[in-house]
Amino acid sequence: MSTNTQTRLALSQHLKHLEAESIAIIREVAAEFRNPVMLYSIGKDSGVMLHLALKAFYPSKPPFPLLHIDTGWKFRDMLRHRDSIAARHGLKLLVHTNAEGVARGINPITSGSQLHTQVMKTEALKQALDKWEFDAAFGGARRDEEKSRAKERVFSFRSAGHVWDPRNQRPELWSLYNTKINKGETIRVFPLSNWTELDIWQYTRAQQIPVVPLYFAAPRPVIERDGLLIMRDDDRMPLAPEELEQVRMVRFRSLGCYPLSAAIESEAATLDEIIEEMLISRTSERSGRLIDSDEAASMEKKKREGYF
């Protein structure tokens, strides 16, 4: 899927260290939990996480399925990428959509990003975890993404009902993770906790991990709304009276539901160019996400409710 034809490169000491730490975390989950699952959100972080899982269990396959929470509003390119990756590695892929939310007509455009996220992502995730009775779920979140993430454990305990209590987290000393839970409780596991966005790209580059083409700059039709560039991936998103679609050279730093993911103008069409661009960028990757600017401390609130 990647437009890259570059060769695989040796890893720096730093990336080797991160890789080993993540592999150990992933193996720990396989060894201790009855029914783990890996959240696969199709983005660059998920790509790295899956790659690490493939490495962790080689020559076996990862002993857990992938789970995608589909809000129904993902870029079409993302879904193609998802299916091709699962097929390529022969992995079991579970897809869950909150049918209730669909029936209620919840969508990111008229319901607002907050309600949409709450129902189609957070609630949907909880439904899926309950439905398949998963006791541990991997997520690709990183501590450098956001302030409340920087506070979260690698093995993050959730009480029954998937609640995170940030003020009462289990101390996590050395790499002696406490994996013990009672019935109904679960653990969210973050193997990429100590990675930065730059690490992710450098690793993706070095290991030639395929990513969704939307990360690379290309001429794409976008509209400008509230100062953000939005790509209409299909015609469910109505144009406002004076809005015009125009083709610009853009790419995405972070992928989610297309009406909520803003593109940036960029010429970076290869992994090397993305890395170069990152090194001089002055804004964070989350700045293009509409859902985070909704309210102060919104991430912590969402996480307490069960969001990843």
Partner 1 sequence: MTAYAHDQVTVSPGGRGGPTKGLLRFLTCGSVDDGKSTLIGRLLYDTKLILEDQLAALERDSRKHGTTGDDIDFALLVDGLEAEREQGITIDVAYRFFSTPRRAFIVADTPGHEQYTRNMATGASNSHAAVILIDARKGVLTQTRRHSYICSLLGIRHVVLAVNKIDLVDFSGERFHHIVGDYLGFAQALSFSSITPIPVSARYGDNVTARSARTGWYEGPTIIEHLEGLDATEGLDGKPFRFPVQWVNRPNLDFRGFCGTVASGVVRPGDPVIVAASGRDTHVARIVTADGDLPEARAGDAVTLTLSDEVDVARGDMLAQPQARPEVVDQFAAQVLWMIEEPMLPGRSYLMRIGTQYVPARVTSLKHKTDVNTLEHIAARTLGLNEIGLCNLATATPVAFDPYSENRETGAFVLIDRFTNATAGAGMIAFGLRRATNIHRQALLVDKAARTRLNGHRPAILWFTGLSGSGKSTIANIVERELHAQGTHTYMLDGDNVRHGLNRDLGFTDADRVENIRRVGEVARLFVDAGAIVLCSFISPFRAERRMVRELVEEGEFIEIHVDTPLEICKQRDPKGLYARALAGKIKNFTGIDSPYEAPEHAEVVVDTNQGSAEDAAQRILAALRERQVIS
Site for partner 1 in 139-198 (CB under 8 A): 143-144, 146-151, 166-167, 169-178, 180-182, 185, 193-194, 196, 198
Sole binder of partner 1 in the list 2, 15, 41, 122 (CB under 8 A)? 15
Cβ-count burial of 249 within 10 angstroms (0-12 exposed, 13-18 middle, 19+ buried)?
A: middle
Whether a cis peptide bond, with omega within 30° of 0, leads into 59 is yes
Cβ-count burial of 265 within 10 angstroms (0-12 exposed, 13-18 middle, 19+ buried)?
A: exposed
The span of 74-82, 221-229, 255-263, 271-279 binding partner 1 (CB under 8 A) equals 271-279
The residues with which 265 forms a beta bridge, in sequence order, are: 250
User: Cβ 307 to partner 1, closest distance in Å?
Assistant: 15
Sole binder of partner 1 in the list 248, 275, 294, 305 (CB under 8 A)? 275
How many angstroms separate the Cα of 69 from the Cα of each of 118, 256, 305? 12, 11, 16
Cβ-count burial of 240 within 10 angstroms (0-12 exposed, 13-18 middle, 19+ buried)?
A: exposed
User: Cβ 95 to partner 1, closest distance in Å?
Assistant: 27
User: Cβ 28 to partner 1, closest distance in Å?
Assistant: 7
The span of 68-76, 116-124, 238-246, 272-280 binding partner 1 (CB under 8 A) equals 272-280
Query: Is 30 among the residues that bind partner 1 (CB under 8 A)?
Result: yes
Query: Is 24 among the residues that bind partner 1 (CB under 8 A)?
Result: yes
* Span 276-295, contacts to partner 1 by CB under 8 A: 278-284, 286-287
Q: Which is nearer to partner 1, 177 or 308 (CB)?
A: 177
Which of 62, 20, 70, 58 is closest to 38 using CA atoms? Answer: 62
SS3 content of the chain, % helix, strand, coil (to 5): 40, 15, 45
Query: Is 296 among the residues that bind partner 1 (CB under 8 A)?
Result: yes
User: Cβ 216 to partner 1, closest distance in Å?
Assistant: 20
